[in-house]
Amino acid sequence: MTNDSKAGGGVAVTNWMACYNSADEMVVLSCTVTTNDSSPSIVGVGLVLNNNSGTILASTYDELSNGSESVSPSLNIPRGSLQVGVTVMGVVTGEAEGDHFFFEQELVIENC
């Protein structure tokens, strides 16, 4: 897990996490996206999980009709060939303050 903070496009991304939950044999990817000015301007957010070869394993995108100041998108997928210690790439994308944002973060899967 890493708590690296990245900012741009009117938002900051923190609390990246990629982990394996052995109780349900799922891999979890999540982060937190927050507006830089505390306005409820996040109107869309998506999350993509890529393996270390760049292949998309899962993705989601949600539109927020009323906007939000902070969102925490997440993906839960069956473990498949992913294991603790494997490097993956998390990508968060969306729209806030009329601008598109895109951030990526290399993560190592840990136990949840």
Categorize the per-residue pLDDT at 107 as very low, low, confident or very high, splitting at 50, 70 and 90: very high
Q: What is the pLDDT of residue 5?
A: 52
Three-state secondary structure string covering 39-104: CCCEEEEEEEEECCCCCEEEEEEEEEEEEECEECCEEEEECCCCCCCCEEEEEEEEEECCEEEEEE
Chain mean pLDDT for the chain: 92
Question: Which tokens hold the place of 38?
Answer: 């505390």
Determine, yes or no, domain membership for 96. Answer: yes
Containing structural domain, residue 21: 6-111
Q: C-alpha dihedral over 41, 47, 52, 58, to 10 degrees?
A: -170
Q: How many domains does the chain have?
A: 1
Determine, yes or no, domain membership for 1. Answer: no
Q: What is the pLDDT of residues 59-103, one digit of tens each?
A: 999 999 999 999 999 999 999 989 999 999 999 999 998 899 999
Determine, yes or no, domain membership for 35. Answer: yes
Determine, yes or no, domain membership for 45. Answer: yes
pTM value is: 0.89
Q: What is the pLDDT of residue 2?
A: 46
- pLDDT (average), residues 15-22: 97
Q: In this model, does residue 110 exceed pLDDT 80?
A: yes
